[in-house]
Amino acid sequence: MASLRGSALWYANRGHLVFPLKPGQKVPATRNGFKDASMSPETVLAWWTTNPNYNIGLVTGHLYDVIDVDGDEGFTSYAHMVAQGHMPNMIGIVETPRGAHRYIRPTGDGCAAGIMPGIDYRGHGGYVVAPPSINENGIEYRWAIPIDLPAS
């Protein structure tokens, strides 16, 4: 397994807005949460030097938005959305402890919970937990299809 600190630094060095989450949780570990996010290697290293077990938060609405699919209900809703032709092209997929995060190009839209049963949308003003973060039950977030971003 890759280290959380090394992974956070990898994300920051590739232009992702990164911030720490409490170990084993989705809860921000900084005062202002995702608003404290940074691409600065020095800032990221300082956070993970303070606690190497911090999970990794990535800000959405910047390089990507995320369709959050949870449980059987979410996968059923997702299949319905695909069948109806309502899905943009994916640029990456993360397997989460409860489902999947489907990364898409940013749309400018904000976040919305419950857009369909088991489906949330994370855009401008939101964030997701990034691999190789670990939930409270020790289950790791993993890239099923690594994110494919255009070269900067």
How far apart (Å, rounded) are the C-alpha atoms in residues 81 and 121? Answer: 13
Quick one: tokens of 34?
């995702």
Residues 71-96 have pLDDT tens digits of 999 999 999 999 998 788 899 999 99
Q: Which domains does the chain have, with CATH numbers?
A: 4-59+127-133 (3.30.720), 65-122 (no CATH)
pLDDT (tens digit per residue) in 89-120: 899 999 999 999 999 999 999 999 999 999 99
At 58 the pLDDT is 98
Q: How many Cβ atoms sit within 10 Å of the Cβ of residue 152? A: 6
pLDDT in tens, 18-67: 999 999 999 999 999 999 999 999 999 999 999 999 999 999 999 999 99
Centre a 10 Å sphere on the Cβ of residue 133 and count the other Cβ atoms it contains: 28
- Judge contact between 38 and 44, C-beta under 8 A: yes
What's the helix, strand, coil split of the chain in %, to 5? 25, 35, 45
The predicted model scores a pTM of 0.94
